[in-house]
Amino acid sequence: MIKVLVSDALSQEGLKVFNDSKELTVDVKTDLKPEALKEIIKDYDALVVRSATKVTKEIIQAAMKLKVIGRAGVGLDNVDLEAATAKGIIVMNTPAGNTISTAEHTFSMILTLSRNIAQANASMKKGEWKRSKFMGVELYNKVLGIVGFGRIGSEVAKRALSFGMKVLAYDPFLSAKVAESIGVEIAELKKVLQEADYITVHTPLTDETRHMISDKEFGLMKKNVRIVNCARGGIIDELALVRAVKDGKVAGAAMDVFENEPLAADSELLKLDNVVTTPHLGASTEEAQINVAIEVAEIVRDALLGKGIRNAANYPCLDAEACNILNPYINLGEKLGMFAAQLVEGRFLELVISYSGQITKYNLSPVTMALVKGILTPILQDTVNFVNGISLLKERGIKLLESKSGQEGEFVNLIQLEIKTDKETKSILGTLSGNKQPRIVKIDDYYLDLYPVGEMIFIRNLDKPGLIGNLGTLMAKNKINIAAMALGRNKPGDKAISVWSVDNQVSPEIQDKIRELENILTVKIIRT
């Protein structure tokens, strides 16, 4: 039975997804101390967390069976992604589950800043009636700058546009075409900072985005700009924000996330009347909690049962349509990689993967991962998988280059793998047959039609009569059945290659006998 540990509170709707699966058993053990979690994690195939559980490197190293970590939420600050990747554990989150709730909270913050709602409410609670103190501003015709234009940023933009705001969006991966289709203007960060009346951030927290809004950036902004952060603490430099508020540059700020949570009681942010703070409430709606619980349960369940990988931070995301199309190419990629790795001589220096044809319109990252896994498997065996292959490749200083061409060549869809070593460069081309089975169609300059599965004998030989008869006789004497044969040559009588698929393992002794046959140049055994 596959065992799942839920170590943070999860709604009943999410637990029901696990309980409804006959192949899974789920244990709910919340509020575990790190040492307690480290002790029991060895028994589980999957771990489901929210934000409370810290999945550290030590806990990951103690996990003997762990295949999947599911985070019910967007951020993965509490999961050591690098350690999980190194151990081949898939880490998945739920980026869509709280999109609407966070976007709505962001816009609530914008409205609160505009009309001083929080401050006016506090004043009323004191028995005061100070209308003139809380004069607000309208959103109509104001410029909203959105830094990071993913799911949440785009939902915020839709709400801003309905209020008659102009939206400037900064995102290095956002195309002008997409921006225009939504009705926003794409802009460089500097322009957003200089022209926006309101600025809201919606990027992940990375080394590049940490303190991306600091003293220099505040210096570029309009006087009386208003700042919102419902994304991740640390994107905005809090000390710089305090300085900008005190200097009068920033008219107001609304913060739902902080560099250190919970926010310290003596934080300067709490001492400023025009700074509104909430305790990380972006995803805190009943609907969002149910949505993320169901989503994390479904993606963890499907991953464990081999039904596909979705929303993984260290594995490419595929929708159902792409899965159906790419799965045969993923299989091809892995077989191609395993075959090539056993064929080449020397120390690997560089891998060049070229895709051509109709498949190039899809995200081919999972095919690349399969190729890399296949290449490393003969060397690293069970320590390499789809998740950690590229990471292991980089650790070994092997370059990985990829290219795509939408033009069709000799085949409708083609994968070309070129491996450069310190001894040779070898090129192998693969495609799919009509029934979507993997085929190797060219090795260096030799065309052939090879089904690269099982035990194979790869032979370089002189193209002379008698090879097939002699090898067939030898195989028959040693009770080795030949399942298939693929031949490749450039011109009669010159050098040629042949690949023999057999039903039995070929011992070293039989390999030596093959080498002794007339016109045989080299012999290799390849297993996929």
Give the largest Cα separation in the chain, rounded.
106
The structure tokens 């951020």 sit at 75
Kindly report the number of other CB atoms within 10 A of residue 458's CB atom: 19
- Of the candidates 71, 226, 232, 439, the residue annotated as catalytic is 232
Q: How far are the Cα atoms of 122, 123, 130, 275, 401 from residue 127, in angstroms, in the given order?
A: 9, 7, 10, 22, 68
- Residue 79: Cβ-neighbour burial (10 angstroms; 0-12, 13-18, 19+): buried
d(CA 307, CA 299): 9
- Of the candidates 35, 138, 188, 261, the residue annotated as catalytic is 261
- Kindly state the helix (H) or strand (E) to which residue 485 belongs, with its residue range: strand 482-489
Catalytic status, residue 105: no
Number of H helices, E strands in the chain: 17, 22
- Kindly state the helix (H) or strand (E) to which residue 261 belongs, with its residue range: none
Catalytic status, residue 424: no
Tokens of 94: 């739920």
* CB neighbour list of residue 163: distance below 8 Å, 6 or more residues apart: 139, 140
Contact indicator for 107, 160 with CB cutoff of 8 Å: yes
* CB neighbour list of residue 43: distance below 8 Å, 6 or more residues apart: 3, 64, 65
d(CA 290, CA 72): 10
Catalytic status, residue 232: yes
- Closest by CA to 160, choosing from 183, 190, 193, 180, is 183
- Of the candidates 280, 301, 439, 489, the residue annotated as catalytic is 280
Ramachandran quadrant class, 479 (left: phi over 0; alpha: psi -120 to 50; beta: rest): left
> Facing residues of 423 across strands?
none
Contact indicator for 416, 486 with CB cutoff of 8 Å: no
* CB neighbour list of residue 36: distance below 8 Å, 6 or more residues apart: none
The bridge status of strand 2-6 relative to strand 46-49 is: parallel
* Catalytic center residues: 232, 261, 280
